[in-house]
Amino acid sequence: MIKRSNVNDIIRFSYQADGFTGDDLQIEKSIVQRRRKPVKTRNLHELVTEPRGDIPSLEKTTDALDLSLQYEKKIYDLEQMLDIAKSFCQNLDFDNLLESIVYICMAQMHVLGAEIFVRDLITNENYVLETAKDLFDESEKPSIPVSSPITKKLLDVQMPITFDELKLLIEDQKTLETLKALSPTLIVPLIQKTHLNGLLILQERIAIEDDVSYNEYEQNQIMSIASLASVAINNAALIEQSSTDMMTHLKLKFYFFNVLSEAIDQSFLQNENLAVLMFDIDYFKKFNDTYGHECGDYVLIEVANIIRKSLRESDTASRYGGEEFTVLLPNTTTEEAILVAERIRAAIDTHDFIYNDQHLHVTISCGVSVFDSTENLVNSPNEFVNQADQALYISKSKGRNRVTLYRKPDNSR
């Protein structure tokens, strides 16, 4: 079995906890040179015809072969680790990064499934299961409190641990129910400095020669991956937080424009439609003036939740400013965009907003603009959003609580 100390003779990780880049992973030049010079061994005929009296020579040759194979495996694993580090560093989208970590760990550890708990980016009070979106709604995601004895024990051991081993360390077995439901074969802490950024759960393992246990080398390997993953998660989380409105949990205006700019280019190249919706809460000021600003915040949060739940995963919603919201709908026709806008408007119109036992009736107006390479070829994100804003103004002027499609002025008259 290859000891961790031997591996450290070959590779040196030197990453900054506050910002990890591919350049921070340094591979010793001597390893590359050693790889160019394989261990010399004699051919099979020489070994077979070796005089029986020279058995020690044969044993030395066998030892050299074993050592060569060990180091070849180490070099291969280190090359894989370098590729993994590059993959993590290049992916700063939070959801995509978590998915990448899951698939890499599944492939490296030969498991049929893996999940990741990460700290809630808004409250920091729980570790939330963020990789099982198909199984749970946003409000039903399994979570583990930051103060849970599970997290404290993982910080204490700072190494992978099986579920059975964790059970022996935890007195209150009820706290383990969330983990037990995921059928873990190994629980790996994602640690950065002295902080636990999350938990990596490895599920059912593919049996190799009827052995599903993790040997020491494999546990060291998954901890190396976990160290890289923890830094990458921290970096992606910082970007996610800096681009998210803390009240509504929707994206900020500048992020929306960056995504919109890329979407316009993509739609032009692929000759696809692209839609932008702009919403404005009707008579929003009266909620602040009548019930106070906390009521206004409540209305904003509820409206944002309705908008979010009405969209696809590929869509992007943002808080544009004040009580205005924008939505980007990729690969969406005019008819589809109006249908989505009407669905959101109707959902808000019929939703029962209750604040301090007061039932509030909230409505919203909307403007829709659709990019089309033949009929509406917009030149910039600003022009695109301004079109939706002009349509929104028409909705407001015609009585509010309605959806209006932007149409280019007819210059033939």
Give the tens place of pLDDT for each residue, 93-140. Answer: 888 899 999 999 999 999 999 999 999 877 788 999 988 766 666 667
Contacts of residue 376, defined as CB under 8 A and 6 or more positions apart, other chains included, come to 369, 370, 387, 406, 408
**Residue with more model confidence, 20 or 253:** 253
Lowest mean pLDDT among 26-35, 45-54, 231-240, 382-391: 26-35
Identify the pLDDT of residue 355.
95
Q: What is the pLDDT of residues 321-376, one digit of tens each?
A: 999 999 999 999 999 999 999 999 999 999 999 999 999 999 999 999 999 877 78
| Selection from 377, 368, 398 nearest residue 277 by Cα | 368
Residue 359 is predicted with a pLDDT of 94
Please give the domain boundaries of the chain with CATH numbers for all domains: 1-90 (no CATH), 92-241 (3.30.450.40), 253-405 (3.30.70.270)
Task: Put residue 393 in one of left, alpha, beta given phi > 0 → left and psi -120 to 50 → alpha.
Answer: alpha
Tally the C-alpha atoms within 13 A of residue 50's C-alpha that lie toward its C-beta.
Answer: 16
User: Hunting for tokens 């030892």 — which residue is that?
Assistant: 63
Q: Indicate the pTM of the whole model.
A: 0.69
Helix (H, G, I), strand (E, B) or coil at 302: helix
Interval 199-248: pLDDT, tens: 999 999 987 767 788 989 899 999 999 999 999 999 998 888 899 998 99
Q: Single out the residue of 400, 175, 187, 171 nearest to residue 286, CA to CA.
A: 400
At 97, list the tokens.
Answer: 């990064």
Q: How far is CA 342 from CA 108, 336, 337, 393, 403, in A?
A: 47, 10, 9, 16, 7
Residues taking part in catalysis: 323
Give the angle subtended at the CA of 179 by the CAs of 173 and 183, to the nearest 5°: 115
Q: Between 68 and 45, name the one with better pLDDT.
A: 68
Predicted pLDDT of residue 66: 78
Per-residue model confidence as pLDDT tens digits over 270-316: 999 999 999 999 999 999 999 999 999 999 999 999 999 999 989 99
Q: How far is CA 152 from the centre of its chain?
A: 24
Strand-pairing partners, residue 372, are 376
CA distance 284 to 302: 13
pLDDT exceeds 60 at position 158: yes
Most trustworthy range by pLDDT among 163-167, 170-174, 392-396 = 392-396
Q: Which residues pair with 116 in a beta bridge?
A: 200
Q: Which of the pair, 202 or 46, is modelled with greater confidence?
A: 202
12 Cβ partners below 8 Å, 6+ apart? 26, 27, 28
Q: Please give the pLDDT value at position 29.
A: 35
> Helix, strand or coil for residue 197?
strand
Q: Lowest-confidence range among 27-36, 175-184, 262-271, 351-360?
A: 27-36
The CA–CA distances, whole Å, from 62 to 55, 57, 73, 75, 332 equal 11, 9, 17, 20, 65
Distance between CA atoms of 269 and 373, rounded to whole angstroms?
10
Question: What is the four-CA torsion angle of 179, 182, 183, 185, rounded to 10 degrees?
Answer: -70
How many residues comprise the chain? Answer: 413
pLDDT at 378: 87
Q: Residues 140-169: what's their mean pLDDT?
A: 90
Q: Can you say whether the dihedral through the CA atoms of 121, 122, 125, 127 is positive or negative?
A: negative
Q: Residue 369, Cβ neighbours under 10 Å: how many?
A: 26
- Give the mean pLDDT of 65-90: 84
- The answer to whether the beta carbons of residues 204 and 112 sit under 8 Å apart is yes
Instruction: Give pLDDT, residue 58.
Output: 66
Mean pLDDT of the chain: 83
The answer to whether residue 18 scores a pLDDT higher than 50 is no
368 vs 346: CA distance, rounded Å: 15
H/E element holding 240? helix 216-242
Q: What pLDDT is stored for residue 399 in this prediction?
A: 93
Evaluate if residue 86 carries a pLDDT over 90: no
Is it the case that residue 48 has pLDDT exceeding 80?
no
**More confident site: 12 or 175:** 175
The predicted structure's pLDDT at residue 208: 73
Cα-based distances in Å from 81 to 5, 68, 92, 247:
17, 20, 18, 39
Tell me phi and psi for residue 63, to 5 degrees: -65, -40
- Quick one: pLDDT at residue 97? 92
Q: Are 351 and 310 in contact (CB under 8 A)?
A: no
* H or E segment and range at residue 332: none
